[in-house]
Structures are given as C-alpha cells and as structure tokens.
Structure 1
Amino acid sequence: MSPIPLSDYENPQIRNWLDLPRDVTSTILLKLGAIEILRSAQRVCTLWRRICKDPLMWRAIDMHNSVDLYSMEHDLEIMCRHAIDRSCGQLVDINVENFGTDDLLKYISNCTSHLRRLRLVSCSSISDQGLTEVAQKFPLLEELDISIGYLSKGPLEAIGRSCPGLKSLKFNKVAFRYPHIESDEEAFAIAETMPELRHLQLFGNKLTNSGLIAILNSCTHLESLDLRRCFNVDLEGNLGKRCDEQIKDLRRPNDPTNDYPFTDEEHDYGSFDEDYPLGIADLDFLLDVDYDYYIGDVDYDHYIDDADDDAPEPFYD
C-alpha cells in the first residue's frame, strides 16, 4: 500500500464529542442502558458524568442485563436502587428483568408514585404477596409485563383494583402440552378488574373458552389479544368468529411463535394434531443456583482499593 500524501493531512477536521449539544449526548447515552451508564459511560469525562446524574436521565430505567446474570461483577439490585435514587421521584418506567425481588418492588413503590410501565420478566423472587402489597402505590400504571413468572390471580386482582388506567398486560408462562390442566382463575381476575385493557398477552395460559368469553364480555376495548399456546382454548365456530370481529389483532393458540422472545421449545411436547386435548402444566420447580452476591454497605463516592483484587469494582456516584 502506498503512503498517504501529506496533502491529505492538510486542514484536518477534528471532531470533539464534547462539542455535541447536551440533548444529543443524552440521547446517545440513554441508548446504552442503565447498567452500562453506571458501569462505564459516566466515568468517561466530567461532562458525561454530569449528564448521567441528571434526574431526567433516569425517568426510564432499563436494567435488562445483556450478559449472564451470574457473571455480573456488581449486585444488580444495589445498582438498580442507586439508579432509582438518581431519578429523584421522577421514575415512570422500569425494567428489572431477571433479578427483581419483593424488596426491590417495595423500594420502587416508596420512591415514586408516577410509575406507568413496569416489566417483571423472569423474576422468580417476586411473590404474590410482594406484588399485592405494592399495587396500591402504582395508581398511574398503564403497562405491566409479567412474563415467565410464578404469580397467580391474587396480584392480578390487586393490580386491577389499584390501577384503573391499566391499558396493557402481559401475563405469560411456559407452555406445556400435557398433563391436561384447566384453570380460568387468572382470566376471571382480569375480566373482573381490568375493563380498560387495550392489549392483552396470555402466552401459555391455562384458560378455557369460559375464561376467554369472560374477558371478551368485560374488556370491550381490547384491540390486541395474544393466545398463543393457550391449548385449552378452542376458537373453532362462533367463539373464533366473535374474536375475529371484536379483536383487531388476534394471535391464535397455534400461531407461529418466532417473534416471541421466551419460547421454550424443549417443553413443546407432541404435535398439534394429537387426538387428546392439549394442556399446560405449572412449573413446580425453580432453578436453585448458589451464587454469592457482592452485598454490603457500598460508599459510591470512593474507589475500592486497587490492591484488593478479590473485590468487584463499584460504579461511582
């Protein structure tokens, strides 16, 4: 390769990231997500650090971890509480996927009364009682995602009664074809307490036609309804026709699941043309993983001694 002529270096245009408008820099940083902001972005320079401490940066907190939860060098719950503190009561949207607990839910409810969107995906440490107790603290909640969880009708009823403006609900489970189990408890809870729903996803639910009819009768504003892998629902005949007429965007039990992010193919036993009814079973076990979190009183205004190789490096206040 021939050398680049010196003339090409004349009048170089040097671009400095620090010259970007503040709102542009904020938009770029927000795309990183809360974890990367706290772990790295805010350390880059004084300006970025100042922007990262602005409460407006923390109105929406996405703690969805893109790496293996158990390889994280920080305790995500401690990190999340720190992010919530930075919001200064302005938090409206939070995602605590994979690590949410009852204690963290309580902390969120004590720090904001403006929450509108809550995502609780794969949060096995959140109990019926835990969500029920904080439901009344979220009167403005509009969107709730409880996917791959182990909650029952109790917290659904509490959310429905406490959050009259709830417009979107995802209450998804892992779908099992058999043994055949039917239950309309959750469907009835939704029908009885959430009349303003516009969007409902019940992937892998055990509801039957009776539960579906109750939802259609009560949730008359429904625009989209996802019943994929709800194998106890039969949409042949009049009920299917009613769904087509009443729901703009309908996903049927046997529809493709390629766009659903939590499909567990290993539990998809049998074929759709079996002669016996298809059912769904509850998961009766949880993954029990021994993992030592770094927990304790963390002073985020100071660095951990660099000589302490065994201690994780903290994010900074």
Structure 2
Amino acid sequence: MSSPPPPPMAETEAECEARDWAEMPSDALAAVFAKLDATELLTGAGLVCRAWCRLAATDPTLWRCVDMSHQGDFLEAEEAEAMARAAVDRSAGTMEAFWSDTFVTDDLLRYISHRASSLKSLQLSLCHNVSNEGFAEAISGFPQLEELEVTFCSLYGNVCETVGKACPQLKCFRLNERLSILQSEFAAYEGMDDDTEALGIASTMPGLQDLQLIGNNLTNDGLVAILDHCPHLESLDIRQCYNIQMDDALRSKCARIRNLKLPHDPISDFKYRAYIVSSVANSGSDFEVDMCDDLLDVVTEDDDAEFDDLDDFDDAGSDVGMFDDEYDM
C-alpha cells in the first residue's frame, strides 16, 4: 500500500517577501476591494502600488455604493468632500447609492446630481450645510431614486412635495427631525402642529411602501391623508410624533400596516437615538440630553476600527490636494 503524499511545505519567509502583490489577478483583487468602503479605497488599498491604484481608479463597479457615513468624525470637512467627489468621478455615472453625513453641502449634492443621475438610494444625516434650495435643485437630478433618508438635517416646509414630484419611483422615505422632537416635549403650544410635510407626502408619493417620520409635527389629519393616498404603505414609523392622538378611527385605518410604530413606542433601535433630546421624568419643562449625546450612538461592524493614517503613504497626506486632479471641474 502506497504511503500518502507528504503535506505541502509552508512558504518560507523569503518566498512570502518575494511575492509580487501587483500581479494578483484583477478579478480576485476587485472582489477584495468590493469589501472595502470608499475611504479605505481612496486612502489605503488604492495607494499600495500602481496596479492596485489603477484598478481602484478605473473599475466603476467598486463605486456603485458609496458609504461615507460617520467619516465626518475622522476627517476634516474639505477632505471628506474631496473624497466624495473623487468617488463620484470614479463611478463614471454608475453610482446607485450614496450615504453620508455632516460634511455634505449644497455644492457637493449638486456635484453628485450632475454626475450620478442613476442614483437609487440617498441617505443624509446631520447635514446642516444643506439648504432647502440646494436640496431641491439636487434632488431634481435623481429621477430613479427609490430610497431617501434625511435625518436631523436643516430641511423643512415643502421639501416633501419637492421630493415626491422629482422622484416618482420613491418607495422608501425617512424624514426624521430632531427640532420637532425637542418641541414636542413641551406642553402643547399653538402653532406646533404642522401637516405641511404630511400633505406633501400624501399628494406626491402614491407608490410609497416604507415611511419613517420620527419627531414630525403632523396631526391626525395629516396622517389620515397619508394613509388614504399611499395605498401600498407597509411600514410606518411615527415615533415621537406627539401631535398624533391614536383614537379608534385612526387605529382602524392603521390596521393594514404590517410594521407600525406609534408615537410612544420605544426609540431604542433608532441608530441616531443619542441625538434625541428627551425630558426628565416628571420634571415639567426641564430637559436633559442623552448621556451619549456627544457621540454618534451607532453600532458598526467593528467598533474598534481605526481610520488609516494618511501620513503612512509617501504620496498622500491629510491634504485634500491628493484628490484635486480627480475632481477638478
């Protein structure tokens, strides 16, 4: 009986050092790159060698979904915006999702709008440098948009009507408002109820399936209008909407909603809950901010992940100039 073949010999240290990673097959390398986010590609893997840089810069499939959420915690605003523009350019018109926060401006939104008309998902949070006017101009460039999230931004008034008219294919809409949450904690004052946004949704978003309005000032009338004019609605989140009074008639109308979250339901699963100002129990008009308010209370895949130090690369630093050639207009 023949003996089994000997096990393969482990690579020696010299053999490992001699391996030329630049010769890694492009399809295998692309599969690895697809696991990285935009910032990791722009400041890390894409700068290892010429071959890797070439693939990261020329393969638009790597830039179909650009998630730059929470990068404002690590980068200067100008640097983050430069990276976002570079990612848009590299997508070559194929970008389908852009998710970001804090550093987004009117100019950046317009830049994306002009170069990514195929966008299907847009998520913005804590973007206080985006105006109603800039947002309205940009949103008109996303006719294929199916998902839109605007959380704790500075948008108000007729924004919902603007969105509905510009994005006829919208199926998921999240408009969460921190200011309204703060106002709602006070005793009811005249003028705090406002159905402008609810009526805008009802009149322009008939295909809506998923709606989140945490902290909105809509009333029963606004909610009824949404329920009557959005027949495909399956998920509705109106937590912290304290102008809503859930009487029997309204509960009956909501009965068809598969996933329903009501004004006083817990907010514990909301990833931006640390930014919600809540009242102290039995304290009247006294308020406290969540103990984690100074941190974005969001669970990530790796809570210990560290941002790559840009100074590790000879050709790159924390200067936005490293991306200037990519997004010069």
Q: TM-score scaled to structure 1, two decimals?
A: 0.78
Cα deviation 1:147-185 (Å, max 9, x = unaligned) = 011211322211101111100000001122115321111
In 1: Cα distance, 2:142 partner to 2:51 partner = 34
Q: Give the alignment of 1:277-292 within 5 angstroms.
A: none
Q: What SS does the aligned partner of 2:273 have?
A: coil
Partner of 2:301: none
In 2: Cα distance, 1:164 partner to 1:100 partner = 24
Partner of 1:237: 248
The number of aligned residues is: 279
The answer as to whether partners of 2:208 and 2:233 remain within 8 angstroms in 1 is yes
Specify which of 35, 53, 63 is matched with residue 58 of structure 1: 63
Partner of 2:266: 256
Partner of 2:203: 192
Q: Give the alignment of 1:2-151 within 5 angstroms.
A: 11-12=9-10, 22-53=26-57, 54-66=59-71, 68-69=73-74, 71-72=75-76, 75-151=79-155
In 1: Cα distance, 2:119 partner to 2:149 partner = 13
311 and 190 in structure 1: CA distance in 2 versus 1, 3 angstrom threshold: closer
Partner of 2:186: 178
More RCO (CA 8 Å, sep 6+): 1
Deviation, structure 1 residue 311: 5.5
The amino acid of 2:51's aligned partner reads L
The answer as to whether partners of 2:82 and 2:320 remain within 8 angstroms in 1 is no
Specify which of 222, 226, 235 is matched with residue 224 of structure 1: 235
Partner of 1:163: 167
Cα deviation 1:32-70 (Å, max 9, x = unaligned) = 21111101111123332232121111122111235624x
198 and 73 in structure 1: CA distance in 2 versus 1, 3 angstrom threshold: closer
Q: What SS does the aligned partner of 1:140 have?
A: coil
The answer as to whether partners of 2:56 and 2:62 remain within 8 angstroms in 1 is yes
Deviation, structure 1 residue 13: 5.0
The answer as to whether partners of 1:73 and 1:312 remain within 8 angstroms in 2 is no
147 and 184 in structure 1: CA distance in 2 versus 1, 3 angstrom threshold: same
In 2: Cα distance, 1:105 partner to 1:73 partner = 14
Q: What residue ranges of structure 1 are gaps of 5+ in the alignment?
A: 1-8, 279-286, 288-301
214 and 266 in structure 1: CA distance in 2 versus 1, 3 angstrom threshold: closer
Deviates more, 1:139-148 or 1:227-236: 227-236
The amino acid of 1:260's aligned partner reads F
In 1: Cα distance, 2:90 partner to 2:81 partner = 14
Q: TM-score scaled to structure 2, two decimals?
A: 0.75
Deviation, structure 1 residue 118: 0.8
Cα deviation 1:66-116 (Å, max 9, x = unaligned) = 5624x5496111111111111111111111312111101111111122111
Partner of 1:247: 257
In 1: Cα distance, 2:214 partner to 2:77 partner = 33
Cα deviation 1:179-227 (Å, max 9, x = unaligned) = 5321111111111111110000001111111111010000110010011
Between the aligned residues of both structures, percent identity stands at 36
Q: What residue ranges of structure 2 are gaps of 5+ in the alignment?
A: 1-6, 286-293, 295-313
